[in-house]
Amino acid sequence: MKTTLRVSFAATVLVAMTGCAAPGFLDLRAPVAVSGNADAGAQKAAVCTACHGPNGVSPIPTFPNIAGQKADYLYWQLVEFQRKVKPDSPMTAIVAGLSDTDLRDLAAHFAAQTPAPASGDANAFADGARLYREGDPARGFVPCQGCHGANADGNVGGGEARYRAYPSLRGQHSPYLVQRLQDFRNDKYALSSNDHIMHGVTQALDDQAIAQVAGWLQAAPP
């Protein structure tokens, strides 16, 4: 039943996207695998450390941990910033002058770092764990694990191309996740097919549910 619900929802979103794609829109339904030189990326990463930490574990909870994140996700996020999806973000200016090779190398470097450990009490976010794993059919909310993996590590789909640009969420800062989910719900992002999917998914989440899911993802043990 979960699979049927997920497929039906995705089909609805993709139909809705027809005709709404603006110039420069990123169709990430089947992206080519991203590769880069992690060693070269390490030489280019100094500008990233102030916000994301020297090894990609951010000391500031409103900025994301990027250590161990999937290279495909990191690369396409950098591309979105280059296309000014958030003109007010400091990231837009930082990546403006970088080449495509730079973006790929940086993605490879941070993907190779050790992910952030869990922090907090996962038991305090039982509702978040349930929503992540089971969704809420009564509200039309699909399980997060369908795209982000049973362990929230982004490993899902057996390597199918359509899952490449879906991020790992485990160990991510809760405040960052809360803001990100609220922004998706408010349709702040509209540059890629994944942005449209997340906008649809988050319509069923109120602020309390978002806080529960985000809290569990930060605290969930391996």
pLDDT for the residue numbered 88: 81
For 186-210, what is the mean pLDDT? Answer: 95
pLDDT, tens digit, for every residue of 11-24? 444 434 444 445 57
Q: What is the C-alpha separation between 65 and 59, in angstroms, rounded?
A: 9
Closest C-alpha among 188, 54, 184, 208 to residue 125: 208
| pLDDT category of residue 86 using cuts at 50, 70 and 90 | confident
Determine what percent of the chain is predicted with pLDDT higher than 90.
80
Q: What is the C-alpha separation between 123 and 215, in angstroms, rounded?
A: 10
For 174-183, what is the mean pLDDT? Answer: 98
Judge whether 2-22+117-219 and 38-111 match in fold: yes
From residue 70, alpha-carbon distances to 2, 93, 106, 134, 155 in Å are 25, 23, 12, 24, 9
- The three-state secondary structure class of 222 is coil
- Per-chain mean pLDDT for the chain: 89
From residue 58, alpha-carbon distances to 65, 71, 153, 178 in Å are 5, 17, 18, 16
Q: In terms of pTM, does the model score above 0.75?
A: yes
- The three-state secondary structure class of 113 is coil
pLDDT for the residue numbered 13: 43
pLDDT for the residue numbered 15: 39
pLDDT for the residue numbered 189: 86
pLDDT for the residue numbered 134: 97
For 28-40, what is the mean pLDDT? Answer: 96
Q: Among 2-11, 29-38, 93-102, which stretch is predicted with the lowest mean pLDDT?
A: 2-11
Domain ranges of the chain: 2-22+117-219, 38-111
pLDDT for the residue numbered 12: 41
Opening angle at CA 8, ends 144 and 214, nearest 5: 15
From residue 120, alpha-carbon distances to 117, 171, 190, 218 in Å are 10, 10, 32, 7
Q: Is the pLDDT of residue 2 over 60?
A: no
CATH of domain 38-111: 1.10.760.10
For 85-114, what is the mean pLDDT? Answer: 93
pLDDT, tens digit, for every residue of 143-154? 999 999 999 999
Choose which CATH entry (1.10.287.1080, 1.10.10.10, 1.20.1250.20, 1.10.760.10) describes domain 2-22+117-219.
1.10.760.10
pLDDT for the residue numbered 23: 56
